[in-house]
Amino acid sequence: MALEENSLEDRLIKISTRDSNKSLMVSPDKIYIFPVPKTTFQFLENIWQSFTNKMVSLVDFNDDPIFNFSIFEVIDQDEMKIVATATHFKLKEIAERRRIPGIEEYIKKSRPIHLGDPRNESAGFIRKSIIDFNKGLRPEVIFVNLKEEEIHPEKKVLLSETMNHAIGIPLFVNENPIGILWGITKDPIPEDKIRPLTLQLYSLFDVIEFVVAKEMESGNDHYIAQKNIEKADTVSNSRNLFYTTTKDQKEPVTSIIFKSHQYNIEYRMDASFIIPTTDGYAVSLKSFTPEKLNNTGKNLLLIPGFFCRRSVMDKLAKELALKYGYRVFLMDMRGRSRQTMPKHGKKEGWTVDNYIQDDFPEILRWIRWHYPSERTVVLGHSMGGMIPRFYVSSYEKIKELKEEFNLPQPEEYIAGIVSITSPNYISLKSNFIGLDTLKRGFSMLPHKMISDMILSMASFSMQATIQTIDLKKFFKLILNLHSSLRSFSYNIGTKVLTIKDFVGYKEITPPEWYFLMEDVFCEESVSVIMQFFQSQISNERSFWSNDGRINYTENFLNNFNMPIYSVVGTVDKIVPEESLTELKDLKSENKVITYYEQGHLGIIFHGETVRKICKGINEWIQGLK
């Protein structure tokens, strides 16, 4: 077996006090491998699929996938056996909960191999890793040429024509080995990519060890462990972990100091700051702070859109924090997590108005309280861009209606707004031919009546007790609404929007699709959805408050005069380019409009596009007062 020498500095976990005279050190083949403890094994059974899912999701610094296939070999009593596999191309099917016979059959076809079998090369790697771990070192990353080197016969029969090279890392939990995680490729890893990959695997080693041990000790929560492993940042190594306190928050904030291999910089991630708003709800903030801040005096607040958690903005956040030196906050709005929901089970839903009038000003107050000498640049994607624009332009009306005269003054708190594929009103490129006729009729009806009509036209139940729906049900609602409208007019077209249109990312990889389905997409309030439908059905090209007292679009077009940097996706079917033509007519003296050939989510997911957007944003912010 060919082993690539890994840097001792990279492998160092801690300074060991247990190193011994080399003449006394035992031979690796004499090391006894203990069975994985029963409680650990039972916990691992529920999460080891996440190990292989993460392995085939790894990408290099150019966003190119590294592995085509992954397997996990676990230590099971006195044997090692393959218990989990994943392929790069099948993650989309896994996310969509489809049965994948090939993977199941592969595991059934594999046979356990006794630890004492001299041909069990994996057991030999485990024994050597035990010695290294006792010296305070991470295990060596293993590089194996599967076509040229001797492979156990039970494994050789499992190899396909494209399985030529294997790269493995032994895994430990609570200082005991649990098995080896392998990534398999068709082509060898290029020389210049070996060390970056090795560092990623060390990061994954640390993540799995920490997450499994922590969850077994505290909550024994399989789901949380699985999600934390699958969404871990492996292009950074954690250096220190602390639990910190913050004003008016009982639960501690997790503060982790990382070293980024990609940006060659240290930074701290803090999660989560929980900020109460109204009616028992709260918002949640995560932050990235680079080791050296730039001299702009600006913090960045990133707000995700409809049906999305803040993790959808991670690529933007890290590029802006680690390359350009900004302190970046990412916001999860009310209802996005358990921490942001009322503690006593309130059933009331929420509206876009709550995001604009309640949640957003509380975040502005919180950031100003912690950083009184700095102003904020707000970056919003989709609905996340509507929130600051509509707050700023309807500020006087909101203050009057809420009778709250200490609302944060926009010009005092906000230096500028970056709006990424964010609509002025809702105009889905839905191909509903003949819808204009229906719009004229709907425009004469009260907004509440439109909402009730839409609900009644939906063929699946959305009773008052159901306050949120997920993205799949949302597009099912569109399909049912389309069918109902066709019963009014046969002139309505046959094509409807789908979840693929919402994603709008033609280059999306299966791991990225898996990430969207498993970690980004969340449920949304029915009342929020109804506001969007009201705007789509309305003939006024306007987005109104839920009570019909504020025309947000009209106020934005007439009143907005703050610096604004707009990013438009030219193939976006959710926020079509033609619905944003009025941006050029805003009163703002400092207004920039940029265009990218991407769809709705592709514009913040495609690596090259993200880098170009962030470069433009940074240059624009440098010129702000």
Distance CA 199, CA 458 (A): 51
Q: Check residue 159 and give its pLDDT.
A: 84
Amino acid at 431: N
Which residue segments constitute the domains of the chain, with CATH numbers given?
8-230 (3.30.450.40), 258-426+550-622 (3.40.50.1820), 435-537 (no CATH)
Cα–Cα distance, 396 to 393 (Å, whole number): 8
CA 413 to chain CA centroid, nearest Å: 28
Residues 6+ apart with CB under 8 A from 248: 276
Show the CA angle centred on residue 224, arms to residues 137 and 336, nearest 5°.
130
- Residue 32: count other Cβ atoms within 10 Å of its Cβ: 7
pLDDT at 446: 57
* Angle, CA of 188, 264 and 135, to the nearest 5°: 70
HSE at residue 469, side-chain half, CA atoms within 13 A, is: 21
In 458-577, which residue ranges form alpha helices assigned H by DSSP?
Answer: 471-486, 499-503, 510-515, 526-537, 552-559
The token pair at 375 is: 């102003």
What distance, in Å, lies between the first and last C-alpha atoms of the chain? 61
Share of residues in the chain with pLDDT > 70 (%): 81
In DSSP terms, which residues pair with 257 in a beta bridge? 240, 268
In 462-605, beta strands by DSSP E: 468-469, 524-525, 564-569, 591-596
Please state the φ and ψ torsions of residue 553, each to the nearest 5 degrees.
-65, -45
What tokens were used for 318? Answer: 């890290």
The helix or strand, by DSSP H or E, that contains position 284, with its residue range, turns out to be strand 282-290
Q: Give me the pLDDT at residue 461, please.
A: 35
* Rounded Cα gap, residues 260 and 250, in angstroms: 30
Q: Is the distance from CB of 409 to CB of 346 less than 8 angstroms?
A: no
User: Residue 595's pLDDT is what?
Assistant: 96
- Spatial separation of the C-alpha atoms in residues 183 and 190, rounded to whole Å: 15
Task: Report which DSSP code applies to 323.
Answer: I
The per-residue DSSP string of 113-166 comes to EETT-TT-HHHHHHHHHHHHHHTTBPPPPEEEETTTS---HHHHTT--TT--EE
Report, as ranges of residue numbers, the positions in the chain whose pLDDT lies below 70: 1-9, 12-21, 91-106, 344-348, 426-467, 469-497, 536-540
Q: Which two tokens stand for residue 602?
A: 């592709």
Helices and strands of the chain, counted as H and E runs:
23, 18
Residue 478, H or E segment: helix 471-486
Peptide bond into 272 cis (omega under 30): yes
Task: With CA atoms as reference, report the closest residue to 419 among 469, 466, 462, 383.
Answer: 383
pLDDT of 502 reads 77
Distance of CA 546 to the CA centre of its chain: 29
Alpha-carbon distance 385 to 380, whole Å? 4
The confidence score (pLDDT) of residue 91 equals 66
Residues pairing with 79 in the sheet: 76, 114
In the block, residue with structure tokens 């004469």 = 444
Please tell me the predicted confidence (pLDDT) of residue 279: 87
